[in-house]
A and B are shown apart, each in its own frame.
Chain A
Amino acid sequence: MIFIITNDIVSNKERDDGRKLEEIRPLKIEAGILKRADGSAYLEVGGNKVIAAVYGPRESYIRRLLRPDTGVIRCRYNMAPFSVDDRKRPGPDRRSTEISKITAEALRPSLLLERFPRSMVDIFIEIIEAEGGTRCAGITAASVALADAGIPMKDMVVGCAAGKVDGEIVLDLSEKEDKEGQADVPLAIMPRTGEITLLQTDGNLTEDEFDKALSLAIEGCKQISEVQKEALKNRYEA
């Protein structure tokens, strides 16, 4: 499937890294890269390197999380100390705690956990190298890992951000664009139905600009979704 966005006014402009306004960064996804995990995926987009792994469904040994009628998910987003320019101190901080929470909430709607009462699915996202857009990359990778683990799901959730840089609405912000830009709109969807499972906005946008950013991010998600499916096919072909 090829997605073409016809907007002649914007498509001629180039960004700092040579991309068109509605172009995503080079993307690579590989499923099943870890031996021990029940499911795993490796994702590279631009300068980001992300590993996601899934364990479960397994008995919920954390009693306060246990639910008698359904399974639950637990998600942890973690950055390697060497993943950023200035070494990040190991361990959770406020940012990664928030991202862990919204990631779990972005993935949860796709999973049929009602089939696994009293159990828990662990999703671990490790950012090996960060270059803008790690939360979306994490969600995209985690969903492939969940599928690789054979967790029943309605759809593979996919994440992508749009934003505003130099007054233009652009797709898939790089680290530089994220820092220098005026707005960042990370989004995750279930592409089959178009349901939106994650949405944040950080910055200033007019109503029209937001409208445009939303549509652009959805188109970005759909492109990435194809790469996700390819990764799974490659893993289980042959």
Chain B
Amino acid sequence: MFIGSMKVQFLFCIAAALLVAAYGEEDDNDGARLLVAKLIHNKYLVENMDVIVKYTVYNTGNAAALEVEITDNSFDPDNFAHMSGELNARIDRVPPNTNVTHTVVVRPRKPGYFNFTSAEVLYRRKEDAPRLQVADSSEPGLAYFTSYKEYDKKFSSHVVDWAAFAVMTLPSLAIPFALWFSSKRKYEKLSRNTKKH
């Protein structure tokens, strides 16, 4: 009888444990947890030049994140030319403790201030997650696109400027040289003449 009751208790305990575990499945510490970084890999932001936008999805949870979808609506086609890479991407699976990157290259069409805002990420915490988790990526923040003219003024090779400088200095060098050269030629002619005699 006693042993029988023990068995019942044991079963009960298992049932209780299962119950708690089932509830625990709903818990936040379980499943995938994503950190999404949106970074700009540029030294200078210049109008009509490449801007590298890189999205990195880190899974710090203990399960694989499924159907991770990155959507970035912050680069509207009026202000940005999309060079390569799409702003809507889906990754089937991000295993725990790994990261996945997605890179997009855009070009700003106009100079001026621009606020890089976050991209939106949707994902499933685990296989049987009832709903999609919404996550916002980090924000690179306010930036200034310099105009190409300004950039060129600062960083171009200035070949034209130096050529102009050379042309401007040419008279002060060339005129004395021409004078000297003409007199030299005359003198050489003279010496040749005297040799003939």
Q: Do A and B bind each other?
A: no
Q: Which residues of B line the A interface, CB within 8 A?
A: none
